[in-house]
Chains A and B, each alone.
Chain A
């Protein structure tokens, strides 16, 4: 079945540590996205990518980094500069960048990150 796989499901970060969240899709989608979800705040866009080797900052990119070396993969690194990383992180993809295409985004089941 086609879909988006996020791993791990739960992740713990120590002070001063960088951690990387994995996101893989087999939907042959061009566009991929990372969101952060906090209770009562909806989803906020961290980074997005329209195509391989290209990515753009979203609304809350500080303290995060991404890469897009393969169409299928869009890993997110939460750096030590992100002082409040505890949240639920969601990866999504769409056939094209939302707006350029009107297809919905498909979401993975998320990674819950906590500070030790």
Chain B
């Protein structure tokens, strides 16, 4: 079955420290990969995508993600976390014209 996994339900980081939110996928072919962020009682906002090319993708608000084909991973990273980065983060992959989402990772950045 084609799927996306986010192995951590919650990630806690101190402000100013680097952060990583993990994502692995299991799909056939060459996937399109996405990261979205959701603030409380709001819709999802697009952060970045990997389609093809450079394995390091830069996105909004200083976030970046590294595509690793051999490890089938697409981890989200940021060099220096802000308290305002605290939110729910979703990894997603396109399969057959539809998006499949991971279950989400709650990021908490403490001052």
CB–CB B97/A40 < 8 A: no
Which residue of chain B is the closest to A105 with respect to CB atoms? Answer: B99
Q: How far is the CA of A14 from the CA of B97 in the complex (A)?
A: 35
Residues in B whose Cβ lies below 8 Å from that of A110: 41-43
The reply to whether the CB of A106 lies closer than 8 angstroms to some CB of chain B is yes
Query: Which of A42, A92, A99, A112 has a CB less than 8 Å from the CB of B97?
Result: A99
The reply to whether the CB of B45 lies closer than 8 angstroms to some CB of chain A is yes
What total of chain B residues lie within 8 Å of the partner, measured CB to CB? 23
Given contacts A90-B44, A104-B34, contact A40 B98 (CB under 8 A): no
The reply to whether the CB of B56 lies closer than 8 angstroms to some CB of chain A is no
Query: Which of B9, B49, B96, B101 has a CB less than 8 Å from the CB of A43?
Result: B101
CB–CB B44/A112 < 8 A: no
B6-63 with Cβ < 8 A to chain A? 9, 32, 34, 36, 41-46, 49, 51
Q: How far is the CA of A4 from the CA of B102 in the complex (A)?
A: 23
Which residue of chain A is the closest to B106 with respect to CB atoms? Answer: A40
Query: Which of A41, A50, A102, A107 has a CB less than 8 Å from the CB of B43?
Result: A107
CB–CB B41/A98 < 8 A: no
CB–CB A58/B98 < 8 A: yes
The reply to whether the CB of B95 lies closer than 8 angstroms to some CB of chain A is yes
Query: Which of A41, A99, A102 has a CB less than 8 Å from the CB of B95?
Result: A99
The reply to whether the CB of B103 lies closer than 8 angstroms to some CB of chain A is yes
Q: How far is the CA of A14 from the CA of B95 in the complex (A)?
A: 36
Q: How far is the CA of A95 from the CA of B23 in the complex (A)?
A: 26
| Known contacts A42-B101, A58-B98, then 10 further A-B pairs from the complex at CB < 8 Å, ordered by chain A residue | A6-B43, A42-B104, A43-B101, A90-B44, A92-B44, A99-B32, A100-B97, A102-B51, A104-B34, A107-B45
- Which B residues fall within an 8 A CB radius of A? 9, 32, 34, 36, 41-46, 49, 51, 90, 94-99, 101-104
What are the 7 closest A-B residue pairs judged by CB atoms, nearest first? A107-B43, A99-B97, A104-B46, A42-B101, A42-B103, A43-B101, A107-B44
30 A-B residue pairs with CB within 8 Å: A4-B43, A33-B99, A40-B103, A40-B104, A41-B103, A42-B90, A43-B99, A43-B101, A44-B101, A48-B98, A58-B98, A90-B43, A92-B43, A92-B44, A98-B98, A98-B99, A99-B94, A99-B96, A102-B32, A102-B49, A102-B51, A104-B34, A104-B36, A105-B99, A106-B46, A107-B36, A107-B44, A107-B45, A109-B42, A110-B43
